[in-house]
Amino acid sequence: MIQAAVLALLLDEASVRSIHEAIEARKVTCVQVVQHYLDRIEAYDDNGPALNAIITVNAHALETAAEMDRLDRAARARRPLHCIPVVLKDNFHTADMPTTGGSVTFKNLQMKEDGFVVKKLRDAGAIIVAKANLHELARAGTTVSSLGGQTKNPYDLTRTPGGSSGGTGAAIAANFGVLGTGSDTGQSIRSPSSANSLVGVRATRGLVSRAGVMPFSTTQDEAGPIVRSVEDAARMLDVMAGYDPDDPITAFSAGHIPRSYTSTLDRNGLKGARIGLLTDVIGTEPIHREVNQVLDAAVAKMTAQGATVVRVSIPKLDELTRGLNLMNLEFKAAFDSYLAGLGSISPVKNLAEFVARGEVHESMKRGLDADLAVTTGPGSPEHQQMYRRREALRQALMNVIAANKLDAILYPHQKRLVVPIGEDQADRNGVLSNSTGFPALTFPGGFSAPTATAPIGVPVGLEILGPEWSEPVLFKLAFAYEQATHVRKPPASTPPLR
């Protein structure tokens, strides 16, 4: 049997490519791959630093891995994610584990079949090893729930892992899996990616199906990858993207999906690029200093790699983005429709019944009461006005891109470091993507200075945004930066197993 230390060298910080190479070289079996990640979950989720990132471990994962070990090379080659351990945010439907949304009410909610994205991942050979905690019903940004409790940031156990997909973020950062899924209504893929030195992609609206994911906002919800490298994000999006008749907005993706997003990856991708540094969303207070230092260093590195970085501004951007979200107007209708679609398997029939049970985390109650009282939902004048405001922001972003001949816009995902546990997230810039439908990619920019609680510093994530269907450009730019800097470092709280 391979010793844990040897497996750690092979599998900690592993990628899709490196695992496939190790399997083909017969250095490791699929069962050993999966067991390694299960061992890390056991060692570090409830024990050790007790990250509290995982809600459910898949009892069938090793059995599935054993079946994969019996496949021949040709069969393995047809599966682009063969034997790749995946951690799902626990609002993605699965046929073999409950889908809880982090809610005590839904702790036994068992779907009859996988959701669209989960099925595509499994068909590609991925193995779902666990489902991760999230901010309850994906409604906020600190990853605390009535069922899962509070998840910790593995880089600084006194801070949150971002949210709402913070369980996935902490799990992938701590090597509980290779790939992870998140959902992003506000900034819920990109916030945990920023906070955990990861890559997260909020794709163009319509590129990835939301069917089979618990809803928050029919307009703003998106699903996407949370991973450790740009290449793995591209590989995962290759599998996730595509038309789903159960989510008709995905019809707009036709003709916009390349043969493979990995074909756009280029180590020299920054050479000749023109990137706009959006100064309006950069903090100016002392609390923003450490993030700004990382941003300045990243701009210098991009420039050294051949990019032209120009400072740009959007007139009245604060006015354009203030209070701009459709979540509160859409949640009640979306949630009621979702529960009705579940039929008899759901323990509640609508939002009113859910709230009446009183089982949610205390921090959720005020917001849910407000949503329950909403009478100006989809189709209302307020909703139509919000759509007009979204169009104004889309136009403003396209104006600055066109006027400055930009390939992408750059900014810090969060103006300050991710907050300590017990505080609400502040100063996030996710609105630029979630309120336009434009794609955004968050990637590791660097770290703050080390402290007693953050021995290698707190991760700082940078974000690039482009027009609709510009994912190939975003991948190219982020990959070039990643390869030139190799910023990511694993957290000290979850070291290799021995």
pLDDT digits (tens, 9 = 90+) for 357-375: 999 999 999 999 999 999 8
pLDDT of residue 103: 98
For 105-119, what is the mean pLDDT? 98
Which residue is associated with the tokens 């920054």? 270
Residue 489 corresponds to which tokens in the numbers above? 């470092």
Quick: pLDDT tens for 34-80. Answer: 999 999 999 999 999 999 999 999 999 999 999 999 999 999 999 99
Residue 490 lies in a domain: no
Distance CA 438, CA 476 (A): 17
Q: pTM here? A: 0.98
Residue 498 lies in a domain: no
pLDDT of residue 376: 85
Q: What are phi and psi of 401, to 5 degrees?
A: -65, -45
Residue 131 lies in a domain: yes
| Residues 6+ away with beta carbon under 8 Å from 363 | 140, 144
pLDDT of residue 6: 87
Domain containing residue 26: 4-485
Residue 138 lies in a domain: yes
Quick: pLDDT tens for 123-162. Answer: 999 999 999 999 999 999 999 999 999 999 999 999 999 9
Residue 147 corresponds to which tokens in the numbers above? 């069922």
Residue whose C-alpha is closest to residue 488's, from 267, 268, 196, 235: 196
The β-bridge relationship of strands 127-132 and 85-89 is parallel
Concatenate the DSSP letters of all residues of 247-280 into one string. Answer: SGGGGGGTT---S-GGGG--TTTTTT-EEEEEGG
Residue 491 lies in a domain: no
Distance CA 190, CA 172 (A): 13
Residue 391 lies in a domain: yes
The overall average pLDDT reported for the chain is: 97
pLDDT of residue 188: 98
For 304-327, what is the mean pLDDT? 96
Residue 196 corresponds to which tokens in the numbers above? 């955990």
Q: How many CB atoms lie within 10 A of CB 405?
A: 10
Residue 230 lies in a domain: yes
Q: Is 14 left (phi over 0), alpha (psi -120 to 50) or beta?
A: beta
For 14-35, what is the mean pLDDT? 98
What Å distances lie between residue 463 and 71, 99, 353, 412, CA to CA? Answer: 40, 30, 39, 6
Residue 495 lies in a domain: no
- CATH number of the domain where residue 154 is located: 3.90.1300.10
Residue 227 corresponds to which tokens in the numbers above? 């991973």
What percent of the chain shows pLDDT beyond 90? 97
Which amino acid is residue 19, in one-letter code? I
| Residues 6+ away with beta carbon under 8 Å from 498 | 4, 5, 8
Residue 6 corresponds to which tokens in the numbers above? 């040897």
For 179-194, what is the mean pLDDT? 98
- The whole-angstrom distance between residue 497's C-alpha and the CA centroid of its chain comes to 26
Distance CA 408, CA 277 (A): 9
Instruction: Kindly tell me if the per-residue pLDDT of 191 is higher than 90.
Output: yes
Confidence of residue 344 (pLDDT cuts 50, 70, 90): very high
**Residue 204 DSSP symbol:** P
For 441-448, what is the mean pLDDT? 98
Q: How many domains does the chain have?
A: 1
**Residue 87 DSSP symbol:** E
Concatenate the DSSP letters of all residues of 405-462 into one string. Answer: T-SEEEEESBSSPPPBTTS---SB-THHHHTT---EEEEEEEE----SS-TT--EEEE
Quick: pLDDT tens for 229-267. Answer: 999 999 999 999 999 999 999 999 999 999 999 999 999
Instruction: Kindly tell me if the per-residue pLDDT of 165 is higher than 80.
Output: yes
The β-bridge relationship of strands 223-227 and 179-183 is antiparallel
What percent of the chain shows pLDDT beyond 70? 100
Instruction: Kindly tell me if the per-residue pLDDT of 1 is higher than 80.
Output: no
Residue whose C-alpha is closest to residue 286's, from 415, 158, 142, 458: 415
pLDDT of residue 248: 98
Which residues are catalytically annotated?
A: 89, 164, 188
Confidence of residue 377 (pLDDT cuts 50, 70, 90): confident
